[in-house]
Amino acid sequence: MDSNARSDVTEDAAPTSPQDPSTTLPPDTLPADAGSLVVVDASGRRPIAVPEGRPISIGSDPASTIVVREAVVPPACAIVVRAGPGWLVTSVDPANPIRILDDTGRSRPVLDELGLRSGTLVAGATRILLEPPASGS
| pLDDT tens by residue, 15-43 | 333 333 333 334 444 445 568 899 999 99
- What single letter denotes the amino acid at residue 92? V
Q: Poorest-confidence range of 23-32, 39-48, 69-78, 121-130?
A: 23-32
Query: Edge-to-edge strands of the sheet including 86-91?
Result: 6-9, 66-69, 55-59, 78-83, 86-91, 114-116
- Is 50 exceeded by the pLDDT of residue 1? no
Distance CA 81, CA 63 (A): 17
Distance CA 2, CA 56 (A): 25
CB 126 within 8 A of CB 120: no
| pLDDT tens by residue, 83-107 | 988 999 999 999 999 999 998 999 9
pLDDT of residue 87: 95
Domain range 43-137, CATH architecture: Sandwich (2.60)
Domain coordinates of the chain in residue numbers?
43-137
